[in-house]
């Protein structure tokens, strides 16, 4: 009878210790699950940020390409205008020479008419 009581106490004590260990392990599991959930959320957030960053890189790359194309078009137009300007300058110089030649011819003709 006394031995049964002692065995009961021992079993009760062991059971209490086992419950305590179970509670500690359960708390650890809950803590680890929370930690895991936080990591999952962080990974998800990083995924969104990565997608957002990729979009920004794509938009920036597209804008860069548009600017480079605009620069090419502007350079081509500038080159054309420079060529046109040189052509007009050449034409003006020719017209000035022709005007001088015509004025000389006019003076000669006026001189011959007077005589």
Transcribe the chain into DSSP letters: -HHHHHHHHHHHHHHHHHHHHHHHHHHHHHHHHHHHHHHHHHHHHHHHHHHHHHHHHHHHHHHHHHHHHHHHHHHHHHHHHHHHHHHHHHHHHHHHHHHHHHHHHHHHHHHHHH-
Residue 75 to residue 83: CA distance in whole angstroms: 12
pLDDT band at 103 (very low <50, low <70, confident <90, very high): very high
Give residue-wise pLDDT tens across range 47-81: 999 999 999 999 999 999 999 999 999 999 999 99
The per-residue pLDDT for range 85-97, each reduced to its tens digit, is 999 999 999 999 9
Predicted pLDDT of residue 109: 95
């Amino acid at each position: 009878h006394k031995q049964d009581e002692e065995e009961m106490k021992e079993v009760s004590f062991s059971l209490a210790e086992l419950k305590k260990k179970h509670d500690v392990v359960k708390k650890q599991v809950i803590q680890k699950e929370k930690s895991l959930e936080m990591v999952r959320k962080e990974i998800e957030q990083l995924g969104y940020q990565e997608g957002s960053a990729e979009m920004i890189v794509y938009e920036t790359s597209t804008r860069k390409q548009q600017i480079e194309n605009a620069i090419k078009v502007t350079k081509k137009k500038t080159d054309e205008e420079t060529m046109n300007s040189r052509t007009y300058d050449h034409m003006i110089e020719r017209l000035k020479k022709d005007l001088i030649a015509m004025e000389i011819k006019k003076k000669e003709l006026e001189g011959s008419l007077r005589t």
